[in-house]
Structure 1
């Protein structure tokens, strides 16, 4: 938290450093988290949120609140889902429509002459008291508005809420505009992933966009809790969480190599069909073979290993580096921690979503039955520590399921 205004040179240098760090992130949620954290640090804001432009509206996309959101299930608030019209009725809508930065000392003391008003519902529901607010359009250098960032309750050095200062009002938009390009890139990356999965959905009706969004989000949140339980550094956690979400979304991409006769069959597979289907793990891994990027290597781990089991009874088993040499699956099993953690987590996320979602051959299981099944397979099908992390964030899991309904 900055207690004193800093020199312009230092501010610009730090903004450039943060932008460089942002450029290492891939997933839009990781980018939004970093942007919001840095903007809040710059302005000593207690809370903040980001809305992204989507289909002519503003979709609530990310949130921080140091006062309210603490503990293992703090992430559930990230999956709150609503939209706001881009018009002058709301503060964020007005900022997006006008392109203006709005600095309000106390939102409860608006004069009434403003075209916009403050929505008190969040404060009334939670007991929070919003006072000062800095609302900044996220504008690229070409003038495109990709969203709006709202910073709430600037604090002085002793923690007392105060209005945002001239220093904040000048430099926070400079950072926001620089970050907007990275946010736009993150949106494009996510959209590209979803288009890839849309192609897979055309071939496999069970592989819906909502399913891959849920599996990606479940995996990212389970990983975060698992890593925190292990005492990992938060920087490492954020970086891995960023990539795992994308990799987990592509867990079944290898199904593009499976015949339509099998993929589009209603109902359960015959044994010989199930044997063919197992090869999707090899085909998926092959798509990311001979690559050196960290994300591609993670994608290979997940695609190849998300049907492995903790007890070694999964598939495809240990494979050679040269996947073109694979002629038979399950010749050598992989057990326990020899399975990459990315695959162990995605395995649980995928099974959970398959059980709790309706399929052509079965209705959705009740939530309590699904959780019981996961717990009963702790130490056999699933890594015990991954199950424990999953159980710690049940409110977040439910919030994800609600946001990405099929």
Structure 2
């Protein structure tokens, strides 16, 4: 249990070091619909999906605010935290001279190989002024993602007894962690017009970003949470998002390009270290110096959907895969499907599905949520995501429009 708490705390510390944070679109309505938004967002949430939709609003919308939106999700699909907790206990037993569970330790170590746990947390605020000249939306957003993955050792060659090798391998195995936190302030500007009889909208979001990176490494039963904040660095940069929308009646097609300005950010470098086995002092492992490059690259997403007054259904697809941290298993390329039913402008029912196409062994995620608009005075959106019993998320929005 101690190591389970350590790893959870490690993830939370990495995620919250930048004050507030989460996934790249922190918004309960979209998250309840599988994460779609390139054609299904509204003028308030447009900057998080497609800036062009900032210009698409109802005639009675004069101003709108998100105050705020918050989201949190945790993913441990292969039960890495439980297996680490189990392995730590078995390692301690072996160090104490109890070798009766070495075969179980070998099985647990094999299960840990390549595992990764992930935490996301974030929040946004927005203030939008729709108009027929240049619609505008001022947004502030902060999100963080942290990833912890195992580094399983397999080079033990005991001089005492070869049967001890699985326990020594486990003792010399490690945990690696990286985190990224991004805070940004931007202004979405968008314009709707007809061109050759076609209804189109286009928009851009120039923004300032502060990007924080963190890196950490230690062996399984010897990492110390307080060291995480010592291994961080930050950079400030200018970036821009852009989007386009075409629609005819309820049919919409759109494309969004997020973070168009590329940037490589190198984490702090951790010095190498040598760990000696307590089971067999002749066995040791040298951890090489560690640093990673975080790649900020453009993400291009297309969307298509049927968006009506009382129901919607849409699909978003990432055209390219985001690598983000090099040599770390945090790549994403998402396909998302989601829909919404509006009941008398008072209650909205939402559901969705998404999948990360970057890896073959990940489970699908299903989502659901509701939107409440009592007497149209304000709107409360609540969403949840479920991948399996070890991977869930929750999201909430507070919106007002006048």
TM-score with structure 2 setting the length: 0.26
Between Structure 1 and Structure 2, which shows a larger proportion of strand residues?
2
TM-score with structure 1 setting the length: 0.25
Between Structure 1 and Structure 2, which shows a larger proportion of helix residues?
1
Bigger relative contact order (CA 8 A; separation at least 6): 2
